Structure 1
Amino acid sequence: MSNTEAAPAEVACGDRPAAADPGRPAVDVLTPRDVPLGGPRAMRVRRTLPQRSRSLIGAWCFADHYGPDEVSGPGAMDVAPHPHTGLQTVSWLFSGEIEHRDSLGTHAMVRPGELNLMTGGHGICHSEVSTAATTTLHGVQLWVALPERHRHTARAFDHYVPSVNRIEGAEVRVFLGSLAGRTSPIPTFTPLLGAEVVLGPDAHMSLGVDPGFEHGVLVDTGDVVVAGTRVRAAELGYVGTGVRSLTLSNRGTAPARFLLLGGTPFDEEILMWWNFVGRTHEEIAAFREAWQAGSDQFGEVTGYPGERLPAPALPAVRIKPRRNPGSGQETAHG
């Protein structure tokens, strides 16, 4: 998915502190901001990463949560070809279907419960369009920052359908990493966890997790109590490192669904602007210039009936950085 903001901020991101009390981990509740995708009449998304209070969870650096939305007519998702560098995109749907095309020549469908992971690396471009048969679209688009030694890797595309693991009144689908005895076969460039969990009514579970990971619980439907803290629909509950078990409860009368995202703290400072992840302002400017010039760095999408997205203008000056709480690193104003 593209970041279609007309004036996207450049964001410098760094690592995170450990949780103070492993026995009773602190949970920071992050609320999303509403962002139009493709214009004021198009669908809108709820963006929880990056934001002022937190920029990354592990290498997860971007999270858009959308729907359920009626997508017939002008409300359909139609994201024209756009570029990416230095990251991977993770597409995960709850309902609907999206047609994906990229400059590798991939033509794939994104469907509920199926992982589509695209590696941008040195450069890739792709388009995303909801299919004609889709009336309701509901899902998430996530980005993973690539570490320095892998960020210029070749473009790639992976697809995986995880099985359902039923434990403690919950259904768990692990699409990246390992959780509750299940492991995804999809390789990652840093240690990561990505899983969908559907927790039944009035259900309670304790999930063993890697204490070297920080975690985020992105709630889709219902309310979830994370280590004693209530996280409502569309919110993201953040838990720092040092935790070996996460307690999760659904006190409602209907199932609650959430994504559990995790990873080791990303120990490199990165710069995010529009659809690029780089390291310096000058590098981001060079990526933009290459895209505008039609460089082979990104390739071409075939089969999309329209023009590609132009890059927005760069800010006139460098945006003043800001500091993440307790991290010793800084992020830019959004």
Structure 2
Amino acid sequence: MRQNALTVIELCAGVGGQALGLEQAGFCVTAVVDADADTCRTLSTNRPEWHPICDDLRRMEPVEHPSLDHADVLSCGLPRSPYSEAGKQLGDADSRDALQATLDMASWVRPRALLLENIPTFLRAPKFEKQRRAVRDAAEDLGYEVVSTVLDATDFGVPQRRKHAFLVAMRPEDLSRFSWPLPTSTRCPTLGETLRASMAARGWPEADKWAADASEPAPLIMGGATGRGGADLGATRAKKLWARQGVYGGSIGDAVPDRDFRLDRTGALRDGLPRLTVDQVSLLQSMPEDWRIYGKKTSAYRQVSQATPPPVARAVGLRIAAALRESDSPGIRRDL
């Protein structure tokens, strides 16, 4: 552990996007927790020093894991499916259990800050007021106050139209020094700019033309959630958005186009548009190019499609770290 580094425990860690962003913000990740075996292998391979714990958050006993004893920040990207527009299909218990387990862990760890991330409907939809109240009540029991916001990933250089809801809970004296990050990117890369090199990797002669036409940030990466079928880019409306950008969204590809692939935007041929590979989806999530994702295609896609892009988590992490460090040193501002 780096001397004087702030520490963080990440729950429901997934592919590691949020933990990686917090690491980039200067935090020392002391434990990551996830129940999925492929995900745990991904985390163990890329960051063994994060001490991955492969266990179900809803059933685990923190006393059995010394690395869960304490951290400055407890962070969790809650499962998204229960808070989607179709979340009612999963039932209220699914969302309550994961959220309540996180709040119970906060009572155990008693961090200086609690960071929760999810999709915007978690903050906005009236049907989730019960869950939001649970967060506020748990925070009050710990002596915290809660603030929340929605951040747009494109404001932080992520080449994808993706919004993230964040809640931060701290003691009032720390929260008074906290503010949400401002946009850090004046121009967001386009889908074509981000994937041009990978699309051309097998000699596809139309890669440059495809990239020039894919002249906006990518649509929202979605789909792949546990219990919701195979790896694709979402429902019918989402697939139409991808098609406008020159991508077939009905499935995830095994490889990028080769030199014999012919682009056809007429819609007459199902195979006239390239499919994204898991590695390309990872690039659109701003994960490092050398980040290895384990599991078969559906499992690998689920890990990366549900991730918080590291640049967004880094921006939030920098503001949390600044607030905590300024609180440690009254009158001295330490810009990270």
Question: What band does the TM-score fall into relative to the shorter chain?
Answer: under 0.3
Structure 1 length normalisation: TM-score?
A: 0.27
Structure 2 length normalisation: TM-score?
A: 0.26
Structure number with larger C-alpha Rg: 2
**Between structures 1 and 2, the one with greater helix share:** 2
**Between structures 1 and 2, the one with greater strand share:** 1
